[in-house]
Structure 1
């Protein structure tokens, strides 16, 4: 089932108007979340990121868009699924209501909530190959808009097509200063010895929920140091380990970049701590 503005409808009957502003102008923001064991992982962080994104895009936040209301709507949608106790990927999409061209007639919003099954009830590391390459056809701009989860994802789409055509599992995106910003579907972390780096938000990377959680976890581990610092492409082949993070998959170790192959030692140490924090969130 899909929740359209509070009304539950079957997936094959869920439709939006042809003049939908998310469809026509990318005038929409979204959150993708993991649901398992009766709870939404890191729900509070997702909620406040959504509210901040809506404010930045000058959307009118409805009075009833409280954390409790949206959580109840998500849970109500999940409980209509055939496998109520399954693990789900939840997508909460909010768009500005129809009307106008580039200048909207209203800042009021509509929303949808959809879900799809996931295979595992918690984050796991897979043994699958994850060979990456740089995507250099287009660049992310170093602006606050780049840190938001909006419907403007053409660079990610084109990068994903490039990866598929060249048999890479993922690509890394660069900003206009030729600094490594993020992967196609998540933030990146580089490990050299006990030093861990991830690009700063000022470089244009997504303000990722898992990024935030892992930074907090690593800061409590005296055996590691963590810094948010710009990453040059030349650093990739010098690193001992690289991994990608997102709210659905958790930690995805990179196995190869060009001639360099990587270990996943640090990822194995961090994963149980991340799963514990997710369950307690």
Structure 2
């Protein structure tokens, strides 16, 4: 694909991502790195669970792509782009260092975000509202012990799917959309978060935590969930007029064009290597 045919990299006012879970086998750090280097933005919010301190207690899985993410974020901050790191429950070991600064990175437990259109949003990871739901035990299983098992199933199934040329499929996402108890939990969580934000006189809330990306109105409150970078690879972005958009990176035209260009590059390299071998005596 010619570079002129590729979609232009957009420029956003703000980008919000969460639940990367660096230190685990299922973190889609490479995809996130591609996303960050392919977009321009004026400020970056990391909305919790960027590192997975819980999983790393029992064993650290560290991939070179994780180093690239850390380097990417540091590079962003050094380019005078503010980075707000909002702590989550999986990286709660950072909460005691809240209100600290590193380079242009601010470590916070929560933050007010004023949109370009004047709306005031609460930015918080969201685990603080989990106790207000009616299905806490279920999500605790899905989000903790059981989640490791679901991820193991995901890896096994998607390994087979990849061999036959099929794309990524999420078993845990399937459960969330097909089990009534999971749907009830998500509904309760969204309403608990929205109610909590409204009670504090916010116009809306941006959170993560449940790995369920969404943009919706909940009880007249703007509810935004960033999703995750373990399965869905989603982000919330703010345009310069204050409009919010949910980006599904795995299906984004820019990402697909990058993947196509990479395939062509590899194909061309193989062709040149083959031609070189054929000319050798």
- Normalised to the residue count of structure 2, the TM-score between the two structures is 0.26
Hey, which of these two has a bigger chunk of strand by percent? 1
Which structure has the larger Rg? 2
More RCO (CA 8 Å, sep 6+): 2
